[in-house]
Each structure stands twice: as structure tokens, then as C-alpha cells.
Chain A
Amino acid sequence: EPEVTQTPSHQVTQMGQEVILRCVPISNHLYFYWYRQILGQKVEFLVSFYNNEISEKSEIFDDQFSVERPDGSNFTLKIRSTKLEDSAMYFCASSEVGNSNTEAFFGQGTRLTVV
């Protein structure tokens, strides 16, 4: 069964460093998403991406964050100058189309720890 894969499963980085979280969405999907979950808190929407551009983003997704689809298969989330409060589980998701009745498939998540 096709699945969304994320790498690495766990990333430890020093405060101020840049990190890139990687995702391979399901191959025929057109919409891509990043969510995060700070420990003990809700899963929060960060950004959605379609046709090589951001279609929607939350207030969390500020200039520190960027997304890219560099090669037609990977979908990356870059966090510049990481802060302690960026420590969270980051989930990538993809869906075939973008309407609210379409299932989004999620990856296993990358646990980011900023020290």
C-alpha cells in the first residue's frame, strides 16, 4: 500500500541551526501539507502546497519556515535558525485532491529536538 515516508525519524539540532525535514508523498497525490505537534499539545496545521506554491499557511508558518518540492518527489520543510520552542513532532501529509472530503495520508512524523 502506498504511504507517505518521512526522514529522519528523529533529528537533534542545536539552537540557531537550520534543519530540513524530508517527506516523500504518495506518487499520484497533488496536495501536500505539514503539521506539527508540540509535546502534550494539539496537532497544528502549518502549510499546504499545490502546483509548486503555497496554497495556505497558518500564523505559525512565519519567515523562519519554508517549503520546497525540489525534484518532483520530495517535499521538504526548512526551519531556519531553530529555537527551543520548535521542538515538536512534524507530520507530512498528502492527498489526491484538495477538497475537504478527500482523505489526507500522513507520514510517521519526524521528532525534532532543539537543544
Chain B
Amino acid sequence: GNSVTQMEGPVTLSEEAFLTINCTYTATGYPSLFWYVQYPGEGLQLLLKATKADDKGSNKGFEATYRKETTSFHLEKGSVQVSDSAVYFCALSDREYGGSQGNLIFGKGTKLSVKP
């Protein structure tokens, strides 16, 4: 069945360091891919998404490219800030574009801590 695997955390970085959080997926068809973020005490928020191969999602300095050949959707940011400290979830929707939402399949989440 469909699944998402993301790197185990926690990840601890210094401010202005480069961030990569790896995410790979297994899916039939052509899923949409998402990164959600959960800041302390808050709900899950959509960070970025990509709906087809080679699409790049970007938001708040974060970006991720939908790589069908490697079944990956790695999250990157060139220079992290303390305010980026949160848990990051990779997810896929197992319905093709235009179909019903179905369900989101999430990874376990990666906790990021950024130190000043």
C-alpha cells in the first residue's frame, strides 16, 4: 500500500544552517505530496505542496521538489531560524488530482530544533 518514510529526528541545527529533511514515498498512480508543520502548541499547518512530477513547492524559504524517479520529496531551507523550530510532516494524498480527497498518508514527523 501507499506509505511515506521520513528521516528520524530530532534534528538540531544552529541558526543560519542548511536544512534537509528527507522524505520518500511509495504509491500507485500519481499522488499529491505535502509538507505540514506543527509549531509548539498549534495544529498541523500546510507548509507547501506539489501535485505532479518535477513540481517545486515553496513557502517561507522552504522548498521541496516532487521527484518521481527517486520517489522523493525532500524538504530544504538554505538558512534556518529559531522560529522554524517545529515538527515537520511529509504526507501524500492517495487520490489523483481532481478526484476526491480520500485520506492523507503521513510520515512519522521530524522534530527540528534551531539554536541561536
List the interface of chain A (C-beta within 8 A of B): 3-4, 6, 31, 33, 35, 37, 40-45, 48, 55-56, 58, 91, 93, 95, 97-109
B61 at the interface (CB under 8 A from A): no
List the interface of chain B (C-beta within 8 A of A): 4, 31-32, 36, 41-46, 49, 51, 89, 91, 93-109
Report which of A4, A41, A99, A107 forms a contact with B100, defined as CB distance below 8 A: A99
Nearest chain B CB to A106's CB is how many angstroms away?
4
Would you give 22 A-B contacts (Cβ < 8 Å), ordered by A?
A37-B109, A42-B107, A42-B108, A45-B104, A56-B103, A91-B43, A95-B101, A98-B100, A99-B99, A100-B32, A100-B97, A100-B98, A100-B99, A101-B51, A101-B97, A102-B101, A103-B49, A104-B101, A104-B104, A105-B46, A107-B43, A108-B42
**B6: nearest residue on chain A (CB-CB)?**
A42
Kindly list chain B residues whose C-beta atoms are within 8 Å of the C-beta of A101.
32, 49, 51, 97-98
B108 and A41 form a contact (CB under 8 A): yes
Tell me the bound Cα distance from A88 to B109 in angstroms: 15
B43 and A100 form a contact (CB under 8 A): no
Tell me the bound Cα distance from A101 to B112 in angstroms: 27
B98 and A99 form a contact (CB under 8 A): yes
**B5: nearest residue on chain A (CB-CB)?**
A42
Kindly list chain A residues whose C-beta atoms are within 8 Å of the C-beta of B49.
101, 103
Kindly list chain A residues whose C-beta atoms are within 8 Å of the C-beta of B104.
35, 43, 45, 104
Kindly list chain A residues whose C-beta atoms are within 8 Å of the C-beta of B107.
42
Tell me the bound Cα distance from A108 to B45 in angstroms: 10
**A102: nearest residue on chain B (CB-CB)?**
B101
B102 and A48 form a contact (CB under 8 A): yes
Known contacts being A35-B104, A106-B45, A107-B43, is A100 close to B109, with CB within 8 Å?
no
Tell me the bound Cα distance from A56 to B94 in angstroms: 12
A43 and B89 form a contact (CB under 8 A): yes
Nearest chain A CB to B73's CB is how many angstroms away?
14
